[in-house]
A and B are shown apart, each in its own frame.
Chain A
Amino acid sequence: MSNAANIPGAARDVDERSWTYWTTPSTVVVDGLETAFRRSGTGETVVYLHGEGATRAWLPLHQELASGVDLIVPEHPGFGDTERPSDFNRVDDWVLHYESFFRTLGLSRIHLVGHSFGGYLAAQLAVYFPDRFQSVTLINPMGLRLHGEPLRDRFRWTPEEEDSHWFNGRRDLLLEQLTREGSPEQDVQAYAELTSIALLLWNPRYDTKLDYRLARLTAPLLSIGVDDDRVVGNQMATRFAELASNGHFTRITGGHEAPSSHQVVLEQPEDVAAAVIQHVIANS
C-alpha cells in the first residue's frame, strides 16, 4: 500500500480531543490500512456507514442503535481517523476495502446501514456483494441521477447555505453533536473529507450504473426518506427503493414541530434507530 495522500485527523494527538461525543476508536489493519472503527452492543451485526461530517464521535444515533444490535461504525478511508491511500480514487477501492474489513473482523450475517454519502457506499457494496448482507437500510442516500430535480450543488455552499441545506436552518440546535476541535483544524478535516467525496462524486455527481445494478440486490432494502431533504431532494430515497429488487420506502416525518431534514440522523435519532432496528429484526 502506497503512502496516504490525505491524512486529516490521524496524525494528531487524540488525547487532546474532548468534545462531547468523542470516544477513542478501535483500529484494525485492513489490507495494510489502519482503519478506525467503533463498536458496541449485542445482537444482530449492523455495520453503519457514516455520512459527511459525522466522524470522530459516538453520537446519540449510535447509542440508540447499540441498545438493540451489535453496532460497528467504521470511518471510511479519507474520513475521520482513517487515512486515504493515494491509490484510492474509484468507488470500487472503497467497496473492496469494506469487503476486506468485514473479513478481517470475521463478520457474517451483516445488516448494512448507510446515511447520505455512506448510503451511496452501502448501495455500492450491496450491488458488488449482493449475497453478503441480511438487509440493507439507506437513509437519505445520494448517488442516483434524477431528472427534474433542481441542482443542489453541495460543493458550492457557503456556511449560511450549508445551514439551510444540511440542517434546514436548525444547525444551532445540533451544535453539541457537530462540535469537534474548531477552526482551523475542523475546517481542514472537513476539506479533506470533502475531497474524498469529490474523487467519487464530482463529475458526474451520480453513478448511472446504479440504475440497473440495484436490481442485483437480493437482501431486502429499506430506503428511508424525510419530509424536506435539501441535500439530495425528496425523490432520491424513493428512487432507490424503486430500483432495488425487494426494496421499499418509508418516510420519517418531523411530526408537528418541523419537517424532517437530511440530518434526521442527528435530529431524530430515536425515530431513525427504531426504523432501522425494525428492518433488521424483520430480516434476521
Chain B
Amino acid sequence: MTDIEFLGLVDNAYINVPYAGDRKSNYIDLPNRIYDPVEGQRVMDDALDVVVSLEKYGFDGGGISEQHNGPIGLWGNPFVPATWIASRTERMKILVNGPIMNNYQTPIRLAEEIAAVDTLSRGRLIVGLPMGHGMQHHSTGMNPATARARHAEAHDLLVSALNNDGPFEWNGDFFHVPYVNLWPRPTGPISFMLPGGGSIETQQLAARRRYAYQCVLSPLEVMAKNMQRFRDFCREEGYEPAPEQSAAVITLHVAETDAIAKREVQDIEEWGYQNFFLSPTHDNFPPGYVSLASMRGMKGGYRSKPMNEMTYPELLENRWIVAGSPQTVADGLNEVIEKLGLGRVIIPLTTGLKPKWMVDKVLTLFSEEVLPQFRPAGKPLVSAEDRVGFDTRLEYSVKRRKGHPVPAIVRNGNLLDVNKARLDGVDAVLGPWPGTTQEY
C-alpha cells in the first residue's frame, strides 16, 4: 500500500451571517458592517491553533487558503498566516492553497513571498496555484476574460524567477520585467499543486509541469476518471507520477459512532453547502472564466444539481464527506483512496460552524483510531530532520557558502575587508582600488 500523505486544510469561516438563500450570494457583497473584530479574532485564533495542532496529531502538513470579500474565509493573503504557522511548527509541511496569482500586479512579488516563507519554514512549503473561483473576480477586479492566459504566463515567470539565476529579462504578453532577479531565493525547488474542477486543460498542465493535481467537488466516479486521466497524461509526458501528485479533497468527520457523527455534522455540512456554495451563474462563471466548450457542457447539464442543494445523504454518497465511527471513516477513506489512486489526501477542517472542541475531538479520534490504520509505524511521512537550512549556529557555520564576497570599503586608495579593518595587527587590505575586483 502506498504511503498516503495527509494534509489538513483549515478554513476560517465567519459564520454569523444571514441565510444566503435570501440573497444572491454571501460571497461578494454581504455588507461588512456585520463583521465583529472580536469575533474575527476568535475565528483567526481558532484556525491557527488547529493548523498548528495538526503536527501533534501526526498529520504530514497543514494549510490555509486565500479568500476575499466575504465570510467564507478571512485570509486575504495566505502567506501572512503561513509565516505564523512556520514559526510555531517544526516538521509538518505548510500548504498555502493558495495564492491567486492574478491578484498580484507581478508574480515577482509572489515569488518574494514564497522564497521568504520557504526560508523561514525551512523548505516546508507546498504552494497551490488556483485560478481563484469566479466570485473572486467580481471581488478583486481581476479580469476573467484574460485570467487564464495571464495566469499561465504568471506561472512561467514565477517559476523562472524562483529557479533561474538572475538578472534576466522577461518579455511576455502580460509582464515585461527588465530585471528578474529574486532576493531572497528559495531553499530549493518549491512543491506546487494545481487544484482542478475536472477540466482536461488543468490535468494536462499539471502533468506537463510535474505538479500534483488536486480534484474536488465532483461525483466520485467523475473524480476517479479525472485522476486516471491525469496519470495517463503524466505517462504521455514520459514519466510515472509520484504518489503525492494524485491528490483529492475529502471532508472527514469522525465521532464515537455513526449516529453521533451524523447528529454532529449533518446540519453543519448542509449549512456550509447552502450558505457558502450558493452563487448565481454569472458570479460563478464571469465572462471568459471558462472556455466555450466548458460553458456548453455546463449549460447542457454537466452538473446535475446545484451544490447548494446537495443533501447530507448525497454528500455521503459522493464521498465529498466521509463521516461516522473511526472504522466507518477508515473504510470510507480507504475506498476513496483506492478508487482514485490517491497519494495525497487533503482534509478540510472547518473552524466555522463546527466548534473548536468538536474539531479537537475529530482530530483526536482521527489521529488515534483512523490514522494508525494507514500508518502502522506510527510516524508521519516527514520528520524534522528533513528540513533544510540550519538549527544551530554551528550548523550554519559548517553549511554556509564559502568564498562569498566580503563587505568592503575604500580608504587611502585601498579596498579593505570591513570585518578585519577594525582589528589590530590584521591585514585588511584586499588590494589597491581602483584595480582590485571582488569575485562573485
Contact = CB atoms under 8 A, between A and B. Distances in A.
A interacts with B: yes
Contact of A198 (B28, B145, B295, B300): B145
B282 A188 contact: no
Contact of B138 (A156, A187, A195): A156
Given A156-B282, A199-B288, A188 B295 contact: yes
Contacts of B282: 155-158
Contact of B143 (A8, A153, A183, A202): A202
Nearest to B24: A158
Nearest to B145: A198
B141 interface: yes
Nearest to B285: A191
Given A8-B292, A155-B286, A89 B146 contact: yes
B146 to A, nearest CB: 7
Interface string A46-83: 00000000000000000000000000000000000000
A7 B142 CA distance: 23
Interface string B250-280: 0000000000000000000000000000001
B231 to A, nearest CB: 30
Interface residues of A, number: 24
Q: By DSSP majority rule, is chain A's interface helix, strand, loop, or mixed?
A: helix
Interface in B279-314: 280-283, 285-288, 292, 295-296, 299-300
B81 interface: no
B145 A202 contact: yes
A191 B292 contact: yes
A184 interface: yes
A155 B143 contact: no
Given A158-B280, A202-B144, A195 B24 contact: no
B295 to A, nearest CB: 5
Contacts of B145: 89, 195-196, 198-199, 202
Given A155-B138, A156-B283, A184 B292 contact: no
B146 A155 contact: no
Question: In this complex, which of A191, A194, A197, A198 has the most chain B Cβ atoms within 10 angstroms of its Cβ?
Answer: A191
Contacts of A188: 292, 295-296, 299
A271 B286 CA distance: 35
Given A194-B287, A198-B145, A199-B146, A187 B280 contact: no
A168 interface: no
Question: In this complex, which of A6, A155, A156, A158 has the most chain B Cβ atoms within 10 angstroms of its Cβ?
Answer: A156
Nearest to B282: A156
Interface in B120-170: 138, 141-146
A185 B144 CA distance: 21
A203 interface: yes
A281 to B, nearest CB: 39
Interface in A156-186: 156-158, 183-185
A219 interface: no
Contacts of B286: 155, 198
A192 interface: yes
Contacts of A196: 145
Contacts of B142: 203
B307 to A, nearest CB: 17
Contacts of A185: 296
A198 B299 contact: no
A198 B138 contact: no
A165 B111 CA distance: 43
Interface string A140-159: 00000000000001011110
Nearest to B140: A203
A184 B281 CA distance: 14
B287 A197 contact: yes
Contacts of A195: 144-145, 287-288
Nearest to A183: B299
A200 to B, nearest CB: 9
A181 to B, nearest CB: 12
Nearest to A86: B149
A68 B236 CA distance: 63
A184 B143 contact: no
Interface string B89-123: 00000000000000000000000000000000000
Question: In this complex, which of B143, B287, B296 has the most chain A Cβ atoms within 10 angstroms of its Cβ?
Answer: B287
A184 B287 contact: no
B312 to A, nearest CB: 27
B173 to A, nearest CB: 9
A77 to B, nearest CB: 14
B292 A203 contact: no
A185 B143 CA distance: 24
Nearest to A193: B287
Contacts of B292: 6-8, 188, 191-192
B143 A199 contact: yes
A187 B288 contact: no
B134 to A, nearest CB: 10
Which 7 pairs show the lowest CB-CB distances between chains A and B?
A184-B299, A195-B288, A198-B145, A198-B287, A195-B287, A194-B287, A203-B141
Given A7-B292, A158-B281, A202-B145, 10 more contacts: A6-B292, A153-B138, A156-B283, A158-B280, A191-B285, A195-B144, A196-B145, A199-B145, A199-B146, A202-B287
5 contacts: A191-B295, A195-B145, A195-B288, A198-B144, A199-B146
